[in-house]
Amino acid sequence: MYLALYRKYRPTTFDGVIGQEHITTSLKNQIKNNAISHAYLFCGTRGTGKTSVAKIFAKSINCEHPVNGSACGKCATCVALNDPSNLDIMEIDAASNNRVDEIRELREKVKYPPVNGKFKVYIIDEVHMLTDSAFNALLKTLEEPPKHVVFILATTEVQKLPATILSRCLRFDFKLVGQADLEQHLKRIFKDSQIEYDDAAVSLIARLGEGSVRDTLSIADMCVAYTNKNITYNAVLNAVGAIDKEILISLAGHILKGDVHNLLKELNEVIKTGKNIAQIAKDLANHFRDLAVVKTCENFNDILKYPNDFVSKLEKQTKDVSIDTILKALKTFSALDNEFRLTTNPRIVLEVASLNLCDEIKNYESLEARLEALEQKRPQTMSVSVQTQPEVVLLKPTKQTDDKTLFGKMLVNLRNKNEVMLIALLGENTNFNLKDDVLTFVCSNEQEFKALTKSDNLNILNSAIKEINPALSVKVEFKEVKAEKSMEELLKEKLGTDLKVN
């Protein structure tokens, strides 16, 4: 019978555990110094080694001759504990044994001494699933158990545990395993299993595992089955159902150009192949993350570890794109995960988000051009030099220096302060007027109005206008317009009146 990789290569000693040296070192020292606590709490993300370390620790504290803190596996006690029928190491699944009756039964069993080793160890997995009454029943036993009993509680949601339980345990937090450690671990396993692989494929599998050893090995298992023990980069993409990188580059290119027609057309082609909508959004988010790395890091391929031909395409795509635009796209697709959970039609969510993003990028680039033009037209006398006491230049509003002049100077001021969001919001305003020393912005979009009238944003706007002229202030008003167009009307505006929506 075939044994899954994560089961076949489950570590049996502390030295075999990867990425958790801060925990294994502490536990080994406790064993060497004979300073075993009565209760431990192992918490962290799934697949990071909590249960594996608990089993190793349970055997090691009972071993007659530990080797570097780990069980020797050869003494009579180790042989007895390796038998699945032994009663000295009990693993309890709290998800299915969460009632108070099960915990009361456990309290009765802890009174009996161990059969083979020095300690009787109870490993309670997913302990956060216990009911309140079950926690209360466990409390006293956990605080003062018999000398021969050790409790190891494991959980992925430590925030759900009562403070009374937390205060009675020695806590260890398991961290996500680094990509480099996962890659080395995968390569050792592939070599041992005589599986051929590409370095780029191993990097991709490790990245898809997202810090979980079990998830990484499960993905590797899937790829081994798909490729018949010859794992390549493209084979991994096909095995996990991810979008081909060439398609991602094309989709991202349409988004960055604001090409709505070709974007929706290609999205439709991808969806028709059966790709999961949430996976498409996730892949796009990852792609824009890669673009951000390329844009901001010098040795970016040390982080990405992609094939050279693909890296050159990423570089080309970031050439004429600002980091703000890339981050805007990254935030948009990263935020869709929650929306997918609340909708019955994820395709519409993805398409609307893509349409809005294209419009935002177009407006942002238009705003950038306007700011550049304003800065070029700004007189040289307006340049600010660093002085001990900067001179304040008062601009008294006149017919010549009126609405547009003040609005332009405000945008320049906000840009110097890196207030990109406010610039984008103000960029949507075509209606503004100056009257009685008050510069008023008139919003036709309710969401924009709410954003601009937040106290923090109003303070920033007033601060900016007073730096131009202390006598001025800012006011934001809302002017209702006709009802928003339907999704069908919006799509027809973008794609043409021949569009048929079924």
What digits encode the pLDDT tens for the residues 254-279?
Answer: 999 888 889 999 999 999 888 889 98
Contact 53, 83 (CB under 8 A): no
What is the CB-side half-sphere exposure of residue 39 using CA atoms within 13 A?
A: 18
Does residue 501 fall inside a structural domain? Answer: no
34 and 152 assigned to the same domain = yes
Q: What is the mean pLDDT of the chain?
A: 83
Point out the least confidently predicted range of 188-202, 228-242, 342-356, 371-385. 371-385
- Do the domain assignments include residue 499? no
- Residue at 381 is within a domain: no
* Distance between CA atoms of residues 10 and 53, nearest Å: 10
In this structure, the answer to whether residues 24 and 162 fall within a common structural domain is yes
Q: Is residue 106 located within the same domain as residue 184?
A: no
* Cα(267)–Cα(494) distance, integer angstroms: 15
Q: What is the pLDDT of residues 435-478, one digit of tens each?
A: 888 888 888 777 778 778 888 888 888 888 888 888 888 888 88
* DSSP code of residue 315: H
**Confidence tier at 375 by pLDDT (50, 70, 90):** low
Query: 353: domain range?
Result: 245-363
Q: In terms of domains, do 89 and 28 share one?
A: yes
- Do the domain assignments include residue 281? yes
Same domain, 166 and 86: yes
Given this model, what pLDDT does residue 396 score?
45
Residue 430: predicted pLDDT: 53
pTM of the model: 0.65
Q: What is the mean pLDDT of residues 481-493?
A: 60
User: Quick one: which H or E segment has residue 373?
Assistant: helix 346-377
Residues 225, 107 share a domain: no
Residue 488: its pLDDT value, please? Answer: 63
Q: In what order do the strands lie in the sheet with 89-93?
A: 89-93, 120-125, 149-155, 39-44, 170-174
Same domain, 18 and 138: yes
Whether the CA torsion 78, 82, 88, 94 is positive or negative: it is positive
Task: Extract long-range pairs of 204-209: CB within 8 Å, 24+ residues apart.
Answer: 204/233, 204/236, 204/237, 205/231, 205/236, 206/179, 206/182, 207/179, 208/236, 208/240, 208/242, 209/47, 209/182
**Of 64-68, 155-159, 409-413, which gets the smallest average pLDDT?**
409-413
Q: What is the pLDDT of residue 383?
A: 41
Percent of the chain with pLDDT over 70: 86
What is the C-alpha to C-alpha distance for residues 245 and 380, in angstroms, rounded to an integer? 48
Identify whether residues 205 and 185 lie together within a single domain: yes
- Digit-coded pLDDT (tens) for 8-27: 999 999 999 999 999 999 99
Residue pLDDT, tens place only, 193-236: 999 999 889 998 998 898 999 999 999 999 999 988 889 988 89
Token pair of 426, please?
A: 């103000």
Based on the domain organization, do 53 and 189 belong to the same domain? no
The residues, ordered by sequence, that sit 6+ positions from 183 with a Cβ below 8 Å of its Cβ are: 202, 203, 206
Residue 37 near residue 57, CB atoms below 8 Å: no
The answer to whether residue 356 sits within a structural domain is yes
**What CATH number should be reported for the domain holding residue 462?**
3.30.300
CATH number, domain with residue 222: 1.10.8.60
484 occurs within a structural domain: no
Q: Looking at residues 115-141, what average pLDDT do you find?
A: 89
pLDDT for position 482: 58
Whether residue 185 is found in the same domain as residue 169: no
The residue among 116, 144, 174 that closes a domain is: 174
Cα–Cα distances in Å, from 125 out to 55, 97, 174, 416?
11, 10, 14, 54
- Domain tally, the chain: 4
Residues 209, 79 within the same domain:
no
User: Domain with 12 in it: what CATH number?
Assistant: 3.40.50.300
Q: How far apart are the first and last CA of the chain?
A: 50
How wide is the angle at C-alpha 217 spanned by C-alphas 46 and 95, nearest 5°?
Answer: 30
Residue 460 counted as domain residue: yes
The per-residue pLDDT for 18 is: 93
- Out of 240, 255, 288, pick the residue that ends a domain: 240
Query: With helix as H, strand as E and coil as C, how does 50-82 read?
Result: HHHHHHHHHHHCCCCCCECCECCCCCHHHHHHC
Pick from 363, 385, 413: which residue ends a domain? 363
> Which residues does residue 121 pair with via DSSP β-bridges, in sequence order?
89, 150
Residues 196 and 339 in one domain: no
* Residue 172 pLDDT: 95
Q: Does residue 87 fall inside a structural domain?
A: yes
Instruction: Indicate if the pLDDT at residue 141 is higher than 80.
Output: yes
Tokens 């006598």 correspond to what residue?
471
